[in-house]
Structure 1
Amino acid sequence: MQPDDIMNAVTLLTAGWLLLAMCTGGDSWCSEDETSSYQPEVTVIDSGVKGPTVLIVAGIHGNETAGIAAAQRIAGWQILRGRLVVIAEANRAAIAAQKRLIPGVDEQQADLNRNFHVDKSECHPVGDIAAGLWRAVNEQSPNWLIDLHESINFRRINPETVGNTIIVCPNKDTLPLVKKLLQEVNNTITDESKKFLMLEWPAKGSLTRAAAQILKANAMIIETTRREPFDTRVEQHCLLVRKLLSELGMLEMPQK
């Protein structure tokens, strides 16, 4: 072995030990995503006034376009206190393909919202997109995480679906607030079968559940229904986020 080869080997070995040390230093997110190349676009609105950090995520499923449009609109809002963070296109590959699932990956990894595996005090994201997204979320240290989604039918009409629901990780802070959100949005709906309702605990493997369990964020999913007009779904997402921010003292609701 030549001297240069020895130096290269030492450099690689040192880098490997450094990475191992970083990943065993207590960071909940570092087990899989240190090598992730995926970086979602993150918009941060910082009021400069002390307050909570609220993270809005959309586009985890690429064909749920109303949530993406709502998040893009929300990214332009001004707030009174705290920080408003928006990741409007969490899953760019699926959005570009206009598909629910990540294209070109194994079936077991195709649903991004099942790729955040929780094991005790750690989240083990599966795949490059999940790893990059989890890193971005972790870096923001959100107090609240709201994930915008859409379902194929209304929950009150078809119990096998979750349209027009708020799926919450229940605790003493989230449950009272969700009741206020439901009242706000349901005041705009006359058809009883289309009114929003609350469900508890998002699916295992979802970003929202991982954020609640590992980051201790107050977390929920807002599900609109694709049977409604696109503009209606966008407005419902925006209304619910606006109400949440208002309850946190970050935004004023418009006068009715």
Structure 2
Amino acid sequence: MHLDTNMNEQSPLYTCKAHIFQVDPDTRKSWIPLSIGSVNVQIFHDSVKNVYRILSVDGPKVLINTVITSRMSFTKTSQKFCQWVDSRANHVYGLGFAHEDDLTRFMDKFIEVKEAARNALRSSSADARQTVRSESDWSIESNRTDPAIQLKQENAHLKFALAQSSTNSKKWQEELDLLRNNNAKLTTALQESHANVEEWKRQLHFYRDECSRLRQMVSSRHSPGGGQVNEAHEFKNLLDSADRHMLTVSIVRISSYYFNGRLQTLKHV
């Protein structure tokens, strides 16, 4: 299908957005989508040939180039779907609109242009005989087939939406289970950390009390001789050193436990 070059210079009489379909020419029972989404559908007046056209172009591809004739019929098969027969191209086209009002406005414009085409044909002195294929051979049983097709399409959309919802639900459930599992691990690690810290505190207090007790024993002894004084003083220094060492070891152990516990927790998360 090609587009006349003079149409590029014409201004459209009407423009709308719609999904474009075509009846399968082999089976004549099913619709084939011509557009991926909604595209512009326009009605032009070809002043050179004095005809009216329904035209739709998607990039370099011409989807519809139908000449509107006085014998052409336009059928509304549902609230948002309509069809017509292009006997020259031997195709049946269908348009799916987002709203019923859009379809109604398109039909009104089609009827108006069809009447204009009839008047132009009457006023023309030329004998334009055209071999028109019977439109009844190409028409689809609108009251039977089209509603069934519409229902099948809606059913397919509902099935897809249901499958998508089920997939999302499973995904969210898996994420929720993972979060619960990680939360349980973190809670357990925190409880173990608290218990170990309390144990280290208890041992630290025990070491401090023991050092204090030994200091009191040294202080309570009577004044010793010179050698014993040095020995007692040295013993007291050892106790002070041991006290500081125990405190340092306890702090290092507590810090090491916190670091290792946090590292293990992050590995499991």
- What is the TM-score of this pair, normalised by structure 2? 0.20
Highest RCO, 1 vs 2 (Cα 8 Å, sep ≥ 6): 1
Compare the two structures and name the one with the higher helix fraction: 2
Larger Rg: 1 or 2? 2
